[in-house]
């Protein structure tokens, strides 16, 4: 047995001279200056989580810890850079030996060093989404899958399913059953595609994003000497946003921390909102059980929000059973208003209220960049986008493209544009290109065939498109879809005129486009909701030409508004998921009705965990506000099939005491 010899830290080492007790509040100080060992830091919203982690790194360096013994894991490279920059400002040390970055970037560094162990070379390529789609699409063709009347999912959907398997540890059949039940009949074929995909990556010396976690984990589990090497290297682990870790990330952390267990994880279980992409909140909830000697610190002083907003947030999350109980306390003094609960007549009135109130705030010298409009799902921003644009109020969208720029919205609009304008070549080709086996060349041939008909120069809607279009030559695999497309076009015209705009949109969805979305988009449900919202919005238009004009004008209005504003100060429109980690002085939370928020799919489910995550999402939305908060709900939601639907205010509001909200009633002055 070898003799043990310990090196002592040099007594003349330089320290930062930081007065930690003065710089930190009592709870932050307790966490930052805690002795080595497992530690869980529950850092509430706006409580200085980044400050705590930064000072923890500085404190360890001041205790003589070699920077090379530290590993800092984050979820964004930006977060890692910001923390190291702050540490550099606090401690005059060379930090080049400190490993910090996202789980994937650290995984990449490990994999580059030992690629041969998993059958790769150190020059392996990292595929992006387009690379993955290209390989999977090729494999699907090679498999020569017999389609018959069933449609096989496209590469994008399969890649998302494979990724979910990788990040959750679930098998493919389980993922399909839970997330893509309409593809369960394809389990054998999809399994074969996945098997060949794994082989093809190895053959091409390539990895995908998920492999940057899976392969390093396999390396460490299969090679005891290698594991010991990295366990000795990383004796102090710090993990940010621990509530967002998935199955693979958690296992990687536990392996590296195993010998000394000097592991500090920081997060907030109340902000765990990403289970749909593989995050597992049980990782943070079970930490004290996994590490029985762990210290648990709670940081509960909020520096962001006024007490009125914070008290409401505390009340909203208190109903959740699965959580570390905490009570955030406001550092700031009382604000100018109690959070507003605003009842409006319908979605249009909601948009008008938001826009007019923003103009009021402008007159009070509030910068537009300090204002955010948040929503549960992207389609809920439709009316607001239109209203802001019509008033010349500049805005940016962080939750995706502007509503009318999204591919699925433009696809459906192509049908309407073509029926209205038979000379619209771009819309016709876009419509045709949705069919299997129809590329640019075939779309051009179909356009030439259309020009030969007398309908292409018609000044009025034809009685039937199918009479002539069914005779066009299309690829064999597109024949049944082409027939359905032609009959769908027929439905858009009634008695020599156009059907109602909302009916036209629903006809396209039900006729051809819904199935296309299922096989083409991994977020099918959200895209369908977008189109349903567009159909509902179209109820307000009797003339299809007027609706199409509005859709077209959105782009030019947007450009003009942005040009005038110089894009310096813009209102932010964002889904709540995208808003996590951000803050604004003024927050408008729209569509606070059952079915919208909480989401209708979750209300129909009996899954308590899903419902509690939805409430955590509500909590995240509330805690984005620093000064003013508006919770808005339309009392009527127009529906074409069943008439206007009277809505129920979100059941999340039931957990909010009446005295914490000020009721606003919105009326019109003519």
Active-site residue flag, 50? yes
Query: Under a CB-based contact definition with an 8 Å cutoff, are residues 372 and 574 in contact?
Result: yes
d(CA 492, CA 506): 10
- Quickly list DSSP for 100-126: EEEHHHHHHHHHHHTGGGGT--TT-EE
- At which residue do the structure tokens 């990330």 appear? 249
CB-neighbour burial class of residue 261 (10 A; exposed 0-12, middle 13-18, buried 19+): middle
Query: Under a CB-based contact definition with an 8 Å cutoff, are residues 345 and 634 in contact?
Result: yes
Active-site residue flag, 231? no
Query: Under a CB-based contact definition with an 8 Å cutoff, are residues 317 and 268 in contact?
Result: no
Q: At 183, list the tokens.
A: 């593809």
Active-site residue flag, 6? no
Query: Of residues 62, 166, 211, 241, which has the active-site annotation?
Result: 241
Which residues lie across from 371 on neighbouring strands? 586
Query: Under a CB-based contact definition with an 8 Å cutoff, are residues 435 and 421 in contact?
Result: no
Query: Of residues 102, 168, 243, 271, which has the active-site annotation?
Result: 271
Query: Under a CB-based contact definition with an 8 Å cutoff, are residues 42 and 268 in contact?
Result: yes
d(CA 295, CA 112): 35
DSSP class of 595: B
Query: Of residues 51, 196, 298, 624, which has the active-site annotation?
Result: 624
Strands 645-646 and 636-637: what pairing?
A: antiparallel
Strands 99-102 and 70-74: what pairing?
A: parallel
Active-site residue flag, 128? no
Active-site residue flag, 49? yes
d(CA 620, CA 437): 45
Query: Of residues 27, 28, 49, 74, which has the active-site annotation?
Result: 49
Sign of CA dihedral 158, 163, 164, 165: positive
Sign of CA dihedral 652, 654, 656, 658: positive
> What SS3 class is residue 188?
helix
Query: Of residues 62, 156, 166, 240, which has the active-site annotation?
Result: 240
Question: C-alpha distances in angstroms, 450 versus 108, 115, 446, 470, 481?
Answer: 53, 56, 6, 11, 17
Nearest to 256 by CA among 289, 294, 219, 297: 219
CB-neighbour burial class of residue 340 (10 A; exposed 0-12, middle 13-18, buried 19+): middle
Nearest to 417 by CA among 552, 284, 318, 530: 552
Q: At 405, list the tokens.
A: 């720029």
d(CA 381, CA 399): 10
Instruction: Give percent helix, percent strand, percent coil of the chain, each to the nearest 5.
Output: 55, 15, 35
- Quickly list DSSP for 326-357: ---EESSPP-S-PPEEEEESSHHHHHHHHHHH
Active-site residue flag, 624? yes
Active site positions, annotated: 49-50, 240-241, 271, 624
């Amino acid at each position: 047995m070898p003799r043990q010899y310990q090196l002592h830290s040099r007594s003349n080492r330089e320290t930062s001279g930081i007065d930690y007790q003065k710089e930190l509040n009592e709870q932050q100080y307790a966490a930052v200056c805690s002795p080595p060992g497992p530690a869980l830091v529950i850092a509430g919203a706006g409580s200085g989580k980044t400050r705590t982690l930064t000072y923890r790194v500085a404190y360890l360096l001041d205790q003589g810890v070699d920077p090379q013994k530290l590993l800092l894991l984050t979820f964004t490279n930006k977060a890692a850079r910001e923390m190291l920059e702050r540490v550099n400002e606090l401690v005059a040390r060379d930090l080049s030996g400190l490993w910090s970055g996202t789980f994937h970037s650290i995984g990449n560094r490990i994999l580059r060093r030992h690629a041969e162990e998993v059958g790769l070379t150190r020059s392996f390529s990292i595929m992006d989404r387009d690379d993955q789609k290209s390989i999977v699409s090729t494999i699907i063709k090679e498999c020569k899958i017999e389609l018959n009347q069933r449609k096989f999912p496209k590469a994008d959907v399969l890649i998302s399913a494979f990724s979910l398997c990788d990040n959750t540890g679930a098998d493919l059949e389980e993922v399909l059953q839970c997330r893509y039940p309409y593809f369960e009949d394809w389990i054998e074929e999809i399994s074969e595609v996945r098997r060949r995909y794994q082989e093809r990556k190895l053959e091409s010396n390539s990895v995908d994003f998920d492999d940057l976690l899976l392969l390093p984990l396999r390396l460490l589990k299969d090679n005891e000497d290698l594991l010991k090497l990295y366990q000795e290297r990383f004796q102090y682990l710090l993990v940010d946003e621990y509530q967002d870790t998935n199955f693979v990330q958690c296992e990687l952390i536990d392996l590296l921390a195993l010998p000394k267990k000097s592991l500090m994880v920081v997060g907030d279980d109340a902000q765990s909102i990403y289970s749909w992409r593989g995050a597992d909140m049980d990782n943070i909830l079970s930490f004290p059980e996994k590490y029985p000697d762990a210290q648990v610190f709670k940081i509960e002083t909020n520096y962001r929000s006024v007490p009125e907003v914070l008290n409401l947030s505390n009340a909203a999350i208190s109903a959740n059973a699965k959580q570390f109980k905490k009570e955030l306390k406001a550092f700031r003094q009382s604000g100018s208003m109690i959070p507003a609960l605003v009842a409006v007549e319908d979605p249009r009135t909601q948009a008008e209220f938001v826009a007019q109130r923003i103009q009021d705030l402008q007159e009070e010298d509030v910068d537009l960049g300090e204002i955010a409009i948040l929503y549960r799902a992207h389609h809920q921003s439709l009316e607001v986008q239109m209203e802001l644009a019509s008033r010349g109020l500049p805005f940016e969208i962080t939750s995706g493209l502007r509503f009318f720029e999204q591919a699925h919205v433009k696809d459906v609009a192509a049908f309407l544009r073509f029926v209205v304008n038979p000379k619209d070549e771009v819309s016709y080709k876009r419509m045709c290109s949705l069919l299997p086996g129809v590329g640019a060349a075939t779309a051009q041939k179909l356009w030439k065939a259309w020009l030969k008909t007398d309908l292409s120069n018609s000044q009025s809607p034809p009685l039937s498109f199918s009479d002539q279009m069914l005779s066009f030559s299309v690829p064999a695999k597109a024949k049944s879809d082409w027939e359905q497309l032609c009959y769908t076009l027929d439905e858009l015209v009634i008695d020599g005129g156009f059907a109602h705009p909302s009916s036209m949109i629903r006809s396209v969805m039900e006729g051809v486009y819904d199935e296309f979305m299922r096989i083409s988009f991994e977020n099918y449900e959200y895209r369908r909701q977008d189109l349903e919202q567009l159909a509902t919005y179209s109820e307000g238009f009797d003339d299809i030409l007027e609706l199409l004009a509005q859709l077209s004008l959105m782009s030019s209005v947007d450009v003009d508004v942005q040009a005038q504003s110089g894009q310096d100060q813009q209102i932010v429109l964002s889904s709540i998921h995208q808003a996590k980690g951000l803050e604004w002085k003024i927050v408008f939370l729209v569509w606070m009705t059952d079915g919208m928020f909480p989401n209708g799919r979750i209300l129909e489910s009996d899954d308590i965990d899903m419902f509690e995550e939805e409430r955590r999402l509500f909590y995240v939305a509330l805690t984005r506000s620093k000064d003013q908060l508006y919770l808005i709900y339309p009392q009527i939601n127009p529906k074409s099939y069943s008439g206007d639907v009277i809505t129920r205010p979100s059941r999340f509001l039931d957990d909010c005491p009446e005295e914490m909200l000020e009721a606003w009633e919105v009326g019109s002055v003519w």
